[in-house]
A and B are shown apart, each in its own frame.
Chain A
Amino acid sequence: MATVENNIPPGEDPAPYHEPAHDPRRRDFINIAAVSFAGVGAVAIVLPLINQMNPSADVLAQSTTEIDISKIAPGQAIKSSFRKQPLFVRNLTPKEIGEANAVDVGSLRDPQTLAERTKAGKENWLITLGVCTHLGCVPLGAGEGENKGPFGGYFCPCHGSAYDTAGRIRQGPAPQNLHVPEYNFTSDTVVTVG
């Protein structure tokens, strides 16, 4: 170090870097403001980078599905598709409606009556997502000849969740009833879901 200092020409500062000598507060302010602005800018750029992973406009737009229910006889069900998810539309028989209404609602894991899960005057039309509320498998029971499980509704083969004729969870690991999407009857034979 000493030899290095000997090389310094006269009049030159041996150590060219310093702490600020005067008015340090104003200068600190600008330094801090510059760094903070860089931070704000970084956040402003990160937001669109995160937002781009949300569903795009074309995905959001395809969120209504029209279903013709005229050909579903009592006791039958169809699988349709809503937002790329399976949708069960089931025409309940009076016996199945009776079974659903006979259950003590207070004893259920996710207490709901059949009336709460269907439209007034159309209690025979049970429209639910075909997505098990446990981990998302498609339960059996909508197709012809499929295992409807011990409660006559739907049965999820993945982990054994059993749903009753109102699509309510009765046995197995699923925490909730099968979800009922928003829908309405545009006519006696057409349902618009979403």
Chain B
Amino acid sequence: MSFPWAKHYEPKQPLMRWLDEKLPLPRLVYNAIGAGYPVPRNLNYFWNFGVLAGAALVIQIVTGVVLAMHYAANGTVAFGSVESIMRDVNAGWFLRYAHANGASMFLAVVYIHIGRGLYYGSYKAPREMVWLLGVVIFLLMMATAFMGYVLPWGQMSFWGAQVITGFFSAIPLVGDTIRIWLLGGFAPDNAALNRFFSLHYLLPFVIAGVIILHIWALHIPGSNNPTGVDVKGEQDTVPFHPYYTAKDGVGVAVFFLIFATFVFFSPNLLGHPDNYIEANPLSTPAHIVPEWYFLPFYAILKSFTADFILPAKLWGVLAMFGSILLLFFLPWLDSSPVRSANYRPTYRWFLIVLVFDVLVLGYVGGAEASARNVMMGQIAAAYYFAHFLIILPLVSAAERPRPLPNSITEAVLSKHGGTAPTKTALAG
């Protein structure tokens, strides 16, 4: 890769040498996630979440392929086929709960991963392409999660499909045509269920492909780090293996413990009771909400209640898509040369406010539409847009950052008590 001190792959066994000549796959892995990839030595636990997201995708694909062996995508039997998985298929309940909760785990991990990128400025040059591909992955994940939630064909599945395809009807002139085209009918039914199933099976593999691009783009500049300072030399890095494979091992183990707690002890905590009622096109549940990971966006949608030039519904849909699409422009909205928010005292506070803001939006998204909640959502949504589109460009131009360390190594050593002689030095 781009660091001259990266270790080179040297196969020792004849078989591996033979393979390296014909198909250098082990070399590729070695350079990507092996000893051949030098990584800053000061990464904290937030850097585990990329690997965890990869693990979560693998879990979703494996359990999903298996569930597809038993699931039937037809409105008359879909709900029953899920129940038969839960009751009659060997270990079916485990696979289905793992898949349902795995989606939540995947999104949770990815949200932390995105938050890490925001805080430490991982979206900035030279890693803009990594960030852009990441936003693409996020969009694909949202589409996949939505279509997967429709498949059990419960009440929330059905009305979720109805409402989300309803977004498209806000588009002037062609909206209804697009919606009917998406559903293959006037309301969600077999046609919609079948195409959602087909795409729900396809998209994870597209995600896997974009992840490969995401990692490829990452390996050109190398990983960012908590100081945001560029790697200056070999002493700033350690090889990915064994150092970060060992650290990721801890992260994966903790991830599995949390995941297992959900799957085995509260598998329906993140779900909604109404989805255990079979879809009924003639009766809408009293209180429809999306899955928790969409609640902040749902709150933004609901916050636009006033017509102004455009109808309120169109504003809501534009704002909801805009709230994600603006992430594509982030690398160019933030002009500060400093990456890590640790060295950006003003911006740091705004970021912390943003985290709470998104939590408030999440609450409002799931809460009933009382005047108090709607107003809370409107203020929170306004901050969300103001943060990215107004505050970030202005603050990044005006702010005086704190002095950066000269190098990663200097930052590490000062954290451990200045430059006093250390055991490491003696051992060397």
- A residues in contact (CB < 8 Å) with B: 1, 4-5, 7-18, 21, 34, 38, 41, 48-49, 51-54, 56-59
State the Cβ distance, A54 to closest chain B Cβ, in Å: 5
Q: Which 4 A-B pairs have the closest CB atoms?
A: A48-B91, A13-B428, A57-B88, A56-B88
- A58 cross-chain contacts in B, Cβ below 8 A: 84, 88
Contact A7 B90 (CB under 8 A): no
Chain B CB within 10 A, most for which of A7, A34, A51: A7
Instruction: Verify B5–A48 contact, CB threshold 8 A.
Output: no
- Evaluate contact between B427 and A16: CB separation under 8 angstroms: no
User: Chain B 390-428 against A: per-residue CB contact (8 Å), 1 yes, 0 no?
Assistant: 000000000000000001011001000001111011011
B89 and A13 contact, CB distance less than 8 A: no
Partner of A48 from the list B41, B70, B90, B234 (CB cut-off 8 Å) is B90
Q: Which residues of B contact A48 (CB under 8 A)?
A: 90-91, 94-95
Residues of B within 8 A of A13 (CB): 235, 424-425, 427-428
Q: List 5 A-B contacts (CB under 8 A).
A: A5-B234, A13-B425, A13-B428, A15-B234, A52-B90
Q: Which residues of A contact B70 (CB under 8 A)?
A: 52, 56
CB distance from A50 to the nearest CB of B (A): 9
Is B233 in contact with chain A by the CB < 8 A criterion? Answer: yes
Contact of B413 among A5, A12, A41, A53 (CB under 8 A): A12
Q: Is the CB of A21 within 8 A of B427?
A: yes
Q: What is the CA–CA distance of A58 and B409 in the complex, to the nearest angstrom?
A: 63
Given A16-B238, A56-B92, A58-B84: A11 in contact with B66 (beta carbons within 8 A): no
Q: Report B134 CB to chain A, min CB distance, Å.
A: 27
User: Is A4's CB under 8 angstroms from B421's CB?
Assistant: no
Query: Given the interface contacts A7-B232, A56-B88, does A18 sit within 8 Å of B427 by beta carbon?
Result: yes
User: Is A7's CB under 8 angstroms from B5's CB?
Assistant: no
Q: Write out the residue numbers on chain A whose beta carbons fall within 8 Å of the beta carbon of B69.
A: 52-53
Find out whether the CB atom of A56 lies under 8 angstroms from the CB atom of B89. Answer: yes
Instruction: Give chain A residues whose Cβ lies under 8 Å from the Cβ of B234.
Output: 1, 4-5, 14-15
Q: Is A12 a contact of B235 with CB atoms below 8 Å?
A: yes
Q: Answer whether residue B209 sits at the interface, using C-beta atoms and an 8 A cutoff.
A: no
Contact of A54 among B90, B239, B256 (CB under 8 A): B90
Q: Which residues of B contact A15 (CB under 8 A)?
A: 234, 428
Check B243 for interface membership: any CB of A closer than 8 A: yes
Interface residues of B in 246-261 (CB under 8 A from A): 249, 256
CA A111 to CA B69, docked complex, whole Å: 41
Q: From known contacts A16-B424, A49-B62, infer whether A56 and B84 are also in contact, taking CB-CB under 8 Å.
A: yes
Chain A residues near B41 (CB-CB < 8 A): 16
Which residues of the partner chain B approach A12 to less than 8 Å between Cβ atoms? 235, 409, 413, 424-425
A21 CA / B424 CA spacing, docked (Å): 11
Whether A34 contacts B87 in the complex (CB less than 8 A), given A11-B422, A15-B428, A17-B238, comes out as no
A158 to B256, CA, bound (A): 53
Of A4, A14, A38, chain B has the most CB atoms within 10 Å of the CB of A4
